[in-house]
Chains A and B, each alone.
Chain A
Amino acid sequence: MSDEGAALTYQACAGCGARWWFRRERCPTCGRAGPLDRASAGEGTVEAVTVVHRPPSDDWRPYAPYALVLVWLDEEFRAMGLADRGLAIGERVTARSAVRAGNRVPVFGRLGTSAPVIR
């Protein structure tokens, strides 16, 4: 399965089992080279949420105010992403991919409200 389309990817260490979000050449826990690149299923629990009213640049002004969250993913790593409004700490969420201010980024929404699947 290709992970080119994954909203969220992470890395895992084949040696010590650590998982982490930021791309690195070596495991930040044990230093082993060649971490495994994995696609996250994108599901997890909200740990923190903020709504940004004061954007960092003109690129972000059209989106303000916008929500950011920290999520503990089921694969046991933490990631930050944009989010739908109204999410609370403890809610179950899922990540989708979107383009914001010219960058492809993860956006979290409430789990269970994804678009209907046409069978």
Chain B
Amino acid sequence: MTYLAGSACTRFGDHGGQGTLDLMAEAADAALADAGIERGDVDGLLCGYSTTMPHIMLATVFAEHLGLRPRYCASLQLGGATGLLMAATAHLVVEGGGADRVLVVAGENRRSGQTRDASVQALAQAGHPEHEVVLGATIPAYYGLVASAYLDRFGATEADLAELAVLMRRHASTHPGAHFREAITVADVMASRPVAEPLKLLDCCPVSDGGAAAVLSREALNDHCLEVIGTGQAHTHQHLSAAPSLTEFGAGPSAQAALEQARVPVARVRYAGVYDSFTITLAILLEELGLASRGASGRLAAEGHFSAGGPVPLNTHGGLLSYGHCGVAGAMAHVAELHRQMTGRAGDRQVPGELDVGLLHGDGGVLSSHVTMVVAR
């Protein structure tokens, strides 16, 4: 049994002047305060990576920075899935007796720490160097290819995908920390500048600065803990050209493993935090997780199914698409928001009702590696 006992997320946006360690420390101290413990109580540390501060031992650097002496410490890498991987691994480390109070923390000044071209170029290296990068492919291009196959296969439209961007922006407008809060319409998304067709600017998450952290513990440290009741993963390929299918990825098996371990059917999920690097990512993941039927996620979003007052509130902070994406901490913002919502502490953003089961899902690469976590109140 492990508990999600504390969490925090900085404002995402432009934090010019704050580097990776500053953002990590800000989030870490806030998460520790939320959990009600001190730096000296932490005996486990998991970090990710930062493209503006590439370091082969980022967690150890951070332990030194915060004055921690953990008995379990590691830096993890799984692309976009890293944030949730860190939380899931913290759960497994605690279950395995490696540590009792694990601090999970990430942060990056991805926006102010490098030029836009530098960040596009750094991320473009995620493709296969000899077969894909040489074609001038980029991450949006890989997702554009996936989007074209999805729209063709499942009969959805670009406007359906746009509904997901509109929903994320509407949710972000309720959160003061979100990078982009101004309302947008489907027409705005459709008119936004093409990046990699069919994906347009507003189908893509922004590049933001920010940090986020969580505390996973063996014991309930306070009265706002959630139990981690299941985790799962799936890894089918790294490069899109090597994917076994262009219309079915690993989210299904990953979620199935987590839900089976949790002994909860997907129909019981009352709150979801799902990785949304692009509108197409969110559509595919929602559908493969079993939260929407194939091709229907945009339509369901338009009908209010994933709204704060709907049956399955989703990314109520605005997701990567509008709260922002600062790298590893991007996905951890979903964890922090789920934690706030499921413990009734989301203030003005509070979703009504009994949120007893929550599901978190992240993916890395091009829908390559998947991690799912199920939590209960």
Query: Which chain A residues have a beta carbon within 8 Å of chain B's beta carbons?
Result: 20-23, 47-57, 59-60, 63, 65-66, 68-70, 78-82, 89-90, 100-101, 103, 105
Min CB distance B240 to A, Å, is: 7
**A50–B197 touching, CB < 8 Å:** yes
Listed by A's residue number, 6 A-B pairs whose Cβ atoms lie within 8 Å are A22-B239, A49-B148, A51-B196, A56-B133, A57-B124, A68-B144
**A55–B241 touching, CB < 8 Å:** no
**A60 touching B136 in the complex, CB below 8 Å, given contacts A22-B128, A48-B246:** yes
Q: Which residue of A lies closest to B122 (CB)?
A: A56
Q: Which of B121, B144, B239, B242 contacts A50 (CB 8 A)?
A: B144
Q: Which residue of A lies closest to B124 (CB)?
A: A56
**B197–A51 touching, CB < 8 Å:** yes
- Please measure, in the bound complex, the distance between the C-alpha atom of A56 and the C-alpha atom of B148, giving whole angstroms: 20
Q: Which of B133-152 contact A (CB under 8 A)?
A: 133-138, 140-141, 144-149, 152
**B149–A56 touching, CB < 8 Å:** no
Q: Which residues of B contact A52 (CB under 8 A)?
A: 136-138, 140-141, 144, 196
Does B345 belong to the interface (CB within 8 Å)?
Answer: no
Q: Which of B145-203 contact A (CB under 8 A)?
A: 145-149, 152, 193-199
Q: Which residue of A lies closest to B142 (CB)?
A: A50
Query: Which chain B residues have a beta carbon within 8 Å of chain A's beta carbons?
Result: 117, 120-121, 124, 128, 130-138, 140-141, 144-149, 152, 193-199, 239-242, 246
Question: Which of A21, A55, A56, A68 has the largest number of chain B CB atoms within 10 A?
Answer: A56
- Please measure, in the bound complex, the distance between the C-alpha atom of A118 and the C-alpha atom of B153, giving whole angstroms: 41
**B145–A70 touching, CB < 8 Å:** yes
Q: Which of A55, A68, A90, A101 contacts B145 (CB 8 A)?
A: A68
Min CB distance B213 to A, Å, is: 32
Q: Which residues of A contact B134 (CB under 8 A)?
A: 101, 103, 105
Min CB distance A6 to B, Å, is: 14
Q: Which residues of B contact A59 (CB under 8 A)?
A: 136
- Please measure, in the bound complex, the distance between the C-alpha atom of A38 and the C-alpha atom of B155, giving whole angstroms: 36
Q: Which residue of A lies closest to B145 (CB)?
A: A48
- Please measure, in the bound complex, the distance between the C-alpha atom of A58 and the C-alpha atom of B194, giving whole angstroms: 18
Minimum-distance CB pairs A-B, first 4 = A50-B144, A56-B124, A48-B145, A51-B197
**B196–A48 touching, CB < 8 Å:** no
Question: Which of A52, A59, A105 has the largest number of chain B CB atoms within 10 A?
Answer: A52
Q: Which residue of B lies closest to A72 (CB)?
A: B246
Q: Which residue of B lies closest to A53 (CB)?
A: B194
**B194–A51 touching, CB < 8 Å:** yes
Q: Which residue of A lies closest to B239 (CB)?
A: A22
**B149–A47 touching, CB < 8 Å:** yes
Q: Which residues of A contact B241 (CB under 8 A)?
A: 21-22, 70, 78-80
**B197–A47 touching, CB < 8 Å:** no
Q: Which residue of B lies closest to A67 (CB)?
A: B197
- Please measure, in the bound complex, the distance between the C-alpha atom of A80 and the C-alpha atom of B135, giving whole angstroms: 8
**B136–A20 touching, CB < 8 Å:** no
> Contacts A22-B241, A50-B147, A50-B197 given; 13 further ones with Cβ under 8 A?
A21-B242, A48-B145, A48-B146, A50-B145, A53-B197, A56-B124, A56-B133, A56-B136, A79-B241, A80-B131, A80-B145, A80-B240, A105-B134
**B138–A55 touching, CB < 8 Å:** yes
Q: Which residues of A contact B198 (CB under 8 A)?
A: 50
Q: Which residue of A lies closest to B131 (CB)?
A: A22
**B137–A68 touching, CB < 8 Å:** yes
Q: Which residues of A contact B197 (CB under 8 A)?
A: 50-51, 53
**B135–A105 touching, CB < 8 Å:** yes
**A21–B124 touching, CB < 8 Å:** no
- Please measure, in the bound complex, the distance between the C-alpha atom of A100 and the C-alpha atom of B133, giving whole angstroms: 12
Q: Which of A21, A48, A54, A81 contacts B149 (CB 8 A)?
A: A48
Q: Which residues of A contact B152 (CB under 8 A)?
A: 89-90
Question: Which of A47, A49, A54, A55 has the largest number of chain B CB atoms within 10 A?
Answer: A54
Min CB distance B110 to A, Å, is: 16
**A49 touching B196 in the complex, CB below 8 Å, given contacts A22-B128, A78-B241:** no
**A54–B140 touching, CB < 8 Å:** yes
Q: Which residues of A contact B130 (CB under 8 A)?
A: 22-23
Min CB distance A13 to B, Å, is: 15
- Please measure, in the bound complex, the distance between the C-alpha atom of A90 and the C-alpha atom of B148, giving whole angstroms: 12
- Please measure, in the bound complex, the distance between the C-alpha atom of A36 and the C-alpha atom of B98, giving whole angstroms: 47
Q: Which residues of B contact A81 (CB under 8 A)?
A: 135
**A89–B149 touching, CB < 8 Å:** yes
